[in-house]
Every structure is written in C-alpha cells, then in structure tokens.
Structure 1
C-alpha cells in the first residue's frame, strides 16, 4: 500500500460528466472507440453517421461481407433530454426502410447508445413482444416521411419485415457499463484525465530463486565471480559473502518491485505502459553500459546510478514509478538480454 500523505489533484469532471457534455459528433467518435471492447469477433468498426447514413451511426461488422453479412448497429443519440420511445421508434422505422430498400441486411443487434434513457423507452425495450405490437400499430398511422414517401408495396414490405423481426434485437446500453469497458481501450488514457490509483503493495522476493529470474541472476553471478573470483561462484557462496549476498538481496528486491509495477500497469492501463518505462530506461542504460569498464561490477553500478536519475516520458504510469522500480527495470532488461554487465569471455 502507498504510504505518506495522498497526492492532491485539482478537481476534474468525471468521465461520465465529460461524455454528457459531448456534441453528437464527439459522442459518435467515443462510441466508435468503445465498440471494439465488446466483441473481439468484430472484423471492422466504422463510423457512418452523417447525411445519407440510412440510420447507421456506428457499424460493427462480424465478417468481411460488411453490410451484406452479419453486423451490429450502434445508434448514437446525444440529446439534452433522455432518449424516449418516440425518437427510438423513428430510428427503428428508418432501419426497416433501409433493409427494404436494399441498403443493408437486417443487423444482428441494434444497440441504442445514449447518455440517458427515458423510463418509457427502457420499459418498452424490456418487453420486445409487446413493443413489436405497439410499433406495428403506430406504423399504420404514422406521418413519418420516411414511411409516407414509400410506395404501397414498400410500406407493406416494411410492415411484414417488422412483424417477422424479434424486437429483442433492440437493446439500450448503460453509460456506466460503457465507461468501464472503454477503460480497456487505448483511447481511455488520452480521452479522460487519469485519477490517482492505489498501487498494490510491492512484491517481496521468495526465498527460492524462480525460473523467471534465471537470466538476470546468472548475469549477477558472473559479476560477483569476476570481482571476487572463486569466492562467490555459486548462489550458496554468494549468500554467505558479506558484500555479494547483501547486494544480491537488494537486486532481487528491485526486480520484484519492478515486477509489481508491471502487474499494476497490466491491470490498470492498456497494454504498453510498462514497456514504455522499460524503453526509457534502456535508452539511457545502453549508452552508459557501452562505455569502457574494468569490471562488470563497475558497469552494473554505473547503469543503476544512471537509471535512478534519468527522466521518464510523462505517461499515466510515470507518477507511480519509484527509485527501486528503476533499478528493477534494469534487471528486467538484463532478463530479456537487452543489457549485459560483463564483457564476453569474462568470468563465468
């Protein structure tokens, strides 16, 4: 658990409040970012809102056939007031007309996306059979131009299609659920201000060395063997050595501190944030390590010192990086073979 007084940050509107303030275009862009988080099977997600969109704001395609194959329609409605049944029914009519006129096949699912829904619309969408009956009754009396400008045969085709359609395909989406799912997208951290999170307690190294430590530990063994010759040629001898043993303990603590940061980043943010820290440290560490040193010990100490003072790129993860993490990242880089302490041919 983080210790010390909490960091103070100026008030920022919540992500939900920010979304409520979006104009219709920005809201559609937000929905386009969110949709891929729902269905990994989507081949492509396109924003189609605008003039001549035939009632499609964001289309998510389940196959390469696009609008001729299975697809889902995400209908975005960003109004000052909650989305009501009257407006939703008009969009449903538009969708059926689009199918009858051959603009696309009937979507597999039709999702209404809005910051808020009127109670009447939520109730209607929760009772698909009753709502289909209500829709068909209203269809016969509607003055909606999308229907009245059709020929009699086309109007009949719309009614038949609606009668054959399972209205369970029409569903609302909850804004809180949307925001939780949007957090898993790369766009979250650029769209919304990050809140201060609680970093879990730093992992302690286990008594026994694990296989995930093998490469960086082997490099440390070479460092000790090169400096102290045969006195510290094994892990058992290192543990008994007054300097090498304590040094190994500190390096393992650093490695697991960085591992804690890696897991925190994995769970709290989209992919890539810990790797960005790794790349920042490597950029400086590799240049320091390329200098001439008499011993691998000297190279290791110089790299660790440089990592402790170097600047990190300002990302949402940077505020959580501690000095011990920086040292640990060096050992993660050694574990991946990106940093080496002893010259080739040095002590084994």
Structure 2
C-alpha cells in the first residue's frame, strides 16, 4: 500500500507565482475581483482597460453617477520589473490631462497596482508634498504627447490642477497586499487551490421562531400533530411535549447549522457551492420521500437517515459539511418547498 509522499497531490504553484504569470488582461480581471474587498461600499466596479481608457484600468464607483461622482482609479501595471516613478508619473500626467479634457472628474484615490512596487516609488509617495513638487518639475520639461498635444491653456490647467492636488491620493499596492485581500473574496476559490479555512461558529436557534423558519416548522408541526394528535398540534403544546419538544429543538439546531454553512459559503465562495449540496441531498432524498409510509414521522426519519450517508459532489465547500448540516439541509429543502413530510390525503 502506498503511504507518505506518494499519496500526496503534486505541489501547486503559489498564488503569487500564478498571478506573476498573468498577461495584462488577466491581471486587470484579477484586480477587478480584488477591488471590492478594499471597499465593499462601491456601487459598481468596472474595468476600462484598453485603447482609449484615458488612464483608467479598473474604476470603483462610490455613487451611481460613476465617473461624474466620487470614484477611485486602480491603475494596473503588469511588468517584469518593479513599478517605478517614471512609469507612475506618466500615468499621473494621463490622469490630470483626462480631468482637464473632461473625461472624468479627479478620482478620490488613485491606486497603483503592480506585482512589485519599486522601493523608490514607495518612498516618493510616502511624502506627498515632495512627490507633488517632483511631479511639477517633471511636468515642466516633459515631452510626453499626453501633455504636449494639449493647447497652452489646457497645459496651464493641468499644472494648476496638479498644484491644487493632495498627492496623498496616490497609493501603491503590491502583490502581497492584494493576495491577502483577494483571499477574502469569493473569487479566490475559482483562481487558486483553496487552503483550509476556519468555519465560523454554528448559529444557535433563537428562543423565538424567526419568520424565515415558518415553512419547515409548519411541516414539523404537521408531523407531530399526525403522530401525537391533539397532544402536539401547536407550538405551545409541542414545547411541553416530552418527545416532540426535544425533537423540535434538535431539528432547529440542524436548520441553523445548515444556515451557518450557507452564510459561510456566501461569504467565502462563489455562488452555487451550497446549491450543489442541496441538490445532492435532494436528488436522493426525494426518492426516499416518495415511498409509501404510514406516518409523516416515518418519512421524515427515513429522509434524515438518508441525508447522513448521501455522497456529496467534491467541491471546496463539501469538506466543511458536518452531519448536523446534512440534517439541516433537509429542513432547508422543506423550507423551500422541495420536500414535505405529510401527504395531504392524511395517509403518509
């Protein structure tokens, strides 16, 4: 039998190495995924990169007004070497010219995004007033067509705008910072081999039933009313019943365990991962549910037992599924109307 390293998967390139291999278009897409992690209040994040982008690669809009309201610019530079001052200042000139020409208002923040930021650029931008002075000196003698093709009046406006600008708006971000923040986005799992994450603590059921529980709880009430008749046909009687009350408590714990998994999936992974688990359980559970049973109680117990052994499709989320989640998924399916425990005709 093979053991040890022979049983291990081959090592995968690190996320940093993968991103270093991106071409400029792939890098901009990566940045577009990362930007919402910086500011979740953006109403929209949009990629502009390409011919005629006026120096905007990825824009984060703070209002529905887009480029006519507060916005942040993310300038993506995918080079083999570190991003230095000369390249960054050229992009600054492009930004100031774009404002003067009316393509957009000046962004609130201008973020230089590159795999590696040169130490000299970091040092320059760490002193905004000196960075502005250096930029204005360069501007006086530049031969950059972005500036030289402007009219004399427009060039003067560029200088005035730069003089009035607080250069603390220019911020450098490198790969390590980006990866740490990108990891908090759902897009991470689609790009990289996902490392094990710590699943948050399981939610505990509140004392009072929430509106979002109504349907699956009603299904359980039908089960108890059918089995114990008038002794357990309301929530008040169920709470006092020696068996129904304890059973209800366990089912609510299972429901909230699955709800915890749902929220974890929502925050950590792209859409569809929890749906895959729901569908896996439903595919088998619905066949078990369709059998003939004397009571809805019998159907419910059969489905819960089946859910405990259903083979789940291997996804980045399936490793986090606990036995209690599987029970809870059945109640989520009942809550969605995809499973029911008692047949309307009275005989289950």
Shared fold per TM-score greater than 0.5: yes
Deviates further, 73-82 or 42-51: 42-51
Tell me the equivalent position of 1:114.
114
Quick one: distance in 1 between partners of 2:232 and 2:67?
69
Tell me the equivalent position of 1:103.
103
Q: Tell me how far 1:54 sits from its aligned partner.
A: 1.9
With the length of structure 1 as denominator, give the TM-score of the two structures. 0.79
- Deviations, residues 169-207 of structure 1 (Å, cap 9, x unaligned): 11112433433433343322212221123446778x89x
Deviates further, 295-304 or 79-88: 295-304
**Residue 81 (str. 1) matches residue 81 (str. 2):** yes
Tell me the equivalent position of 2:209.
211
Quick one: distance in 1 between partners of 2:326 and 2:274?
11
Query: Structure 2 vs 1, CA of residues 95 and 301 (structure 1 numbering), >3 Å: closer, same or farther?
Result: same
Quick one: distance in 2 between partners of 1:57 and 1:146?
17
Q: Tell me how far 1:267 sits from its aligned partner.
A: 5.4
Q: Tell me how far 1:96 sits from its aligned partner.
A: 1.5
RMSD: 3.5
Quick one: distance in 1 between partners of 2:215 and 2:303?
17
Query: Structure 2 vs 1, CA of residues 10 and 320 (structure 1 numbering), >3 Å: closer, same or farther?
Result: farther
Quick one: distance in 2 between partners of 1:97 and 1:202?
53
Query: Structure 2 vs 1, CA of residues 224 and 152 (structure 1 numbering), >3 Å: closer, same or farther?
Result: closer
The gaps in structure 1 that reach 5 residues or longer are 1-6
- Deviations, residues 100-150 of structure 1 (Å, cap 9, x unaligned): 233332222211111221111111111111111111112112233333343
CA contact (8 A) 2:258 2:329 kept: yes
Query: Structure 2 vs 1, CA of residues 65 and 259 (structure 1 numbering), >3 Å: closer, same or farther?
Result: closer
Query: Structure 2 vs 1, CA of residues 218 and 155 (structure 1 numbering), >3 Å: closer, same or farther?
Result: closer
Quick one: distance in 2 between partners of 1:343 and 1:188?
44
**Residue 185 (str. 1) matches residue 188 (str. 2):** no
| Correspondence 1:1-348 to 2 at 5 A | 9-199=9-199, 211=209, 219-220=219-220, 222-223=222-223, 226-227=226-227, 235=238, 239=242, 254-255=254-255, 257-259=257-259, 261-262=261-262, 264-265=264-265, 268-269=268-269, 273-334=273-334, 338-344=338-344, 346=346
Q: Tell me how far 1:30 sits from its aligned partner.
A: 0.9
- Deviations, residues 269-306 of structure 1 (Å, cap 9, x unaligned): 45664354234423443443244322113312332243
What SS is found at the alignment partner of 1:110? strand
The gaps in structure 2 that reach 5 residues or longer are 1-6
With the length of structure 2 as denominator, give the TM-score of the two structures. 0.79
Quick one: distance in 2 between partners of 1:249 and 1:62?
45
CA contact (8 A) 1:62 1:69 kept: yes
Count residues with an aligned counterpart. Answer: 336
- Deviations, residues 196-247 of structure 1 (Å, cap 9, x unaligned): 23446778x89x97636786566556545544667877557753x6xx8997
